[in-house]
Structure 1
Amino acid sequence: MKKNIGFLNFGHWTPSPHSQVRTASDTLLQTIELAVAAEELGVDGAYVRVHHFARQLASPYPLLAAMGARTSRIELGTGVIDMRYENPLRMAEDAGAADLISGGRLQLGVSRGSPEQVIDGYRHFGFEPADGDHAAMAREHTRRFLEVIEGDAFAEPHPRPMFPNPPGLLRVEPQSPGLRRRIWWGAGTRATAEWTAQQGMNLMSSTLLTEDTGVPFHQLQAEQIARFRDTWAAAGHDWEPRVSVSRSIFPITNDTDRAYFGTATGGSDQVGRIDGGIARFGKTYAGEPDALVRELAEDEAVAAADTLLLTVPNQLGVDYNAHLLESLVRDVAPGLGWR
């Protein structure tokens, strides 16, 4: 099956002389350049991670808008925005503007968020969860955001407005038609995937799941995808959803690749603890293109998904990451029938 292939950039920067990305300016500008290079290579998507209080990408909308202005075809997304930190109405304005600048190419991944850099960081952004339930707060912010981008009109117009108003209640502007069907939820469990389908959001699943049943990661993730699709069908939505999975895949085609990733071949899943609970982490794929084709052909979740997001080592710079993307699109994807 034709598979959409995108990259996912965490946007790390460090002042180390060994890094090609030493400042916040470096990571922002290089992410834009990598999106441009990826589009030229025929890659389908450019996605960014969002982490607050960290030397990583944190403010996605100016970056997405800039990427949209410099490109013409490639999808632009997030993986994921922590909804505990978001004002739904302001987010709707920012997302609507960025989507219009890109010509309707945004694919926004949102979720409850990952482990934080600081204690209860969302409180510094002015959000206090009722009864301490920060996950419920994230879902409520998401519910309101979805209503607003669907065009919910709720604000009573001022009797003496600065500018003339259309009749009736007012809505947040700008509205971007179609954005509602391009919202994804980052789900870490099978139950959350079912909830995602009930809400009418696309499914985004990463390289870790916050549960473990003892089966290999890719099989557990494939079950998550199957449950999502079954629940979607039962919910009766009138459009087809999308499913993405993330993977760390490094084709080894030259000595530089071998120096960086030669020791990562033959990897396996890992089981550990995250946020106080058990989690299963997917393996890293590294090897010669023919070996990667054989390994990835056995990955049931990759086969089930329509979109594959490649986590890129952004600190190695734009040129090297463009080389990795080119290697995957040219040397690996055709052998799996993705191109």
Structure 2
Amino acid sequence: MPAPGVPLQKLGFLTIGVFDDADPRAGHETTLRVIELGEELGFDSAWLRHRHLQFGISSPVAVLAAATQRTTRIELGTAVTPLAWENPLRLAEDLATVDVLSGGRLNPGVSVGPPMHWDDVKAALYPDTADVEDFSYERVARFVRFVDGAPASGFRGKEGVVEEWSDRVQPHAAGLRSRLWYGGASLRSAQWAGENGLNFLTSSVVKAEVTEDFATEQAGQVQAFKAAHPAGRVSQGLVVTPTDSATPAQRAKYEAYAAERTPRTRSPQGPGRLMFAADLVGTGEQIAEQLYAHAGFREVEEVVFALPFSFEPEDYVQILTDIAGTLGPALGWTPTA
């Protein structure tokens, strides 16, 4: 995406699926309806983010399994599944099953590193093995091998009268390996994803390693990934909120939400020196102009725009409708019929 005039190839959206603790079903149903709407509007993909021990979707795999039965075309992804919470073999089985149900539309995104609030959750998550769990890239590599069909057992064959055992994950989802993504925020993660043949998800959070300019840092990571894996897919995820059809009350809410989050974008945050991208609020044309000026955006042909958290269902309908109807076309994107 070097300049205006080069069309955006794929357009998706990301949600965390907020729900009310007193009525969790309603929030999950809203998420499924948002995915259905995305397909109706012509989006290429819909992605869910994990929110463990919060009031957002803790099991995207289960929700996406439901979504496979309510959609027919749109690609479905996780952005991202933190593998520190998962057994790689069991996750490979679950994802393969959902991919089969979807007809080959699943795009699992994963990441590694210790779970957030590790000291608070490790006794519940790994009561016997917390001190020896491996949260390095090897955990991802093990997961990838299982998805790819590597042996997971030393036994295969018939046992008894009817039981037939396989030595690899079943069902085996042909093509799923090529649709695995790694979500990274550092230069090393971008390089590692490329070197290991994964696709690369870069979001609204990156580490300040070379510069304190978010767009420049992100562009450098994407370039490093492309150098390591020229044929790989890379997608950028920023928070964008078009206001073309928004009511005055919605515009005011969106602007206040972005303003509250703006201070964290002015300098690297915490010991990890994390940099956050500013939320983009405005008309589709205004946001398109800002994106074309963004060094990170100019390196990609796919985007997965993140929906703001904690908004009402009607807000998401308006935002998605404006992304598909105004912002996407301003970026040269064409909805899928």
**TM-score bracket, shorter-length normalisation:** 0.7 to 0.9
Q: Distance in 1 between matches of 2:274 and 2:120?
A: 21
Q: Distance in 2 between matches of 1:246 and 1:337?
A: 17
In structure 2, relative to structure 1, the CA distance for the partners of 1:287 and 1:2 (3 Å cut) is closer
In structure 2, relative to structure 1, the CA distance for the partners of 1:120 and 1:224 (3 Å cut) is farther
Q: Equivalent of 1:148, from 138, 146, 149?
A: 146
Q: Distance in 1 between matches of 2:275 and 2:321?
A: 29
Contact 1:110 1:186 in 2 (8 A): yes
- 1:200 pairs with 2:197: yes
Q: State the partner residue of 1:236.
A: none
Contact 1:27 1:57 in 2 (8 A): no
Q: Distance in 2 between matches of 1:31 and 1:85?
A: 22
Q: Distance in 2 between matches of 1:72 and 1:334?
A: 23
1:58 shift after superposition: 1.0
Contact 1:80 1:110 in 2 (8 A): yes
Q: Distance in 2 between matches of 1:99 and 1:63?
A: 13
Q: Distance in 2 between matches of 1:83 and 1:306?
A: 27
Q: How does 1:12-23 map onto structure 2 within 5 Å?
A: 12-14=18-20, 23=23
How many equivalent residue pairs?
A: 321
Q: Equivalent of 2:287, from 266, 282, 292?
A: 292
Q: State the partner residue of 1:318.
A: 313
- The TM-score normalised by the length of structure 2 is 0.87
Q: State the partner residue of 2:3.
A: none
In structure 2, relative to structure 1, the CA distance for the partners of 1:114 and 1:160 (3 Å cut) is closer
- 1:163 pairs with 2:179: no
In structure 2, relative to structure 1, the CA distance for the partners of 1:161 and 1:120 (3 Å cut) is farther
1:115 shift after superposition: 6.0
- 1:38 pairs with 2:38: yes
More off after superposition, 176-185 vs 326-335? 326-335
1:102 shift after superposition: 0.7
1:212 shift after superposition: 4.1
Q: Which runs of 5+ in 1 are unaligned?
A: 16-21, 234-239
Q: Deviations over 1:10-44 (max 9, x none)?
A: 223346xxxxxx63322221111100011001111
Q: State the partner residue of 1:186.
A: 183
Q: State the partner residue of 2:87.
A: 87
More off after superposition, 109-118 vs 206-215? 109-118
Q: Distance in 1 between matches of 2:278 and 2:208?
A: 16
1:159 shift after superposition: 6.7
Amino acid at match of 1:174: P
Q: Secondary structure at the match of 1:250?
A: strand
Q: Deviations over 1:134-193 (max 9, x none)?
A: 532xx2332222111111233313773452537xx6222111100001111111101111
More off after superposition, 121-130 vs 103-112? 121-130
Q: Distance in 2 between matches of 1:70 and 1:230?
A: 38
Q: Secondary structure at the match of 1:61?
A: helix
- 1:243 pairs with 2:234: yes
Contact 1:104 1:178 in 2 (8 A): yes
- 1:270 pairs with 2:276: no
Q: State the partner residue of 2:4.
A: none
Amino acid at match of 2:140: T
Q: Distance in 1 between matches of 2:160 and 2:221?
A: 50
More off after superposition, 186-195 vs 147-156? 147-156
Q: Distance in 2 between matches of 1:159 and 1:243?
A: 43
In structure 2, relative to structure 1, the CA distance for the partners of 1:14 and 1:114 (3 Å cut) is farther
Q: Equivalent of 1:5, from 11, 18, 24?
A: 11
Q: Secondary structure at the match of 1:84?
A: helix
Q: Deviations over 1:99-119 (max 9, x none)?
A: 111111011010015861452
Q: Deviations over 1:190-220 (max 9, x none)?
A: 1111011111110011111123433421111
Contact 1:53 1:117 in 2 (8 A): no
Amino acid at match of 1:201: L
Q: Secondary structure at the match of 2:267?
A: strand
Contact 2:8 2:331 in 1 (8 A): no
Q: Distance in 1 between matches of 2:183 and 2:20?
A: 27
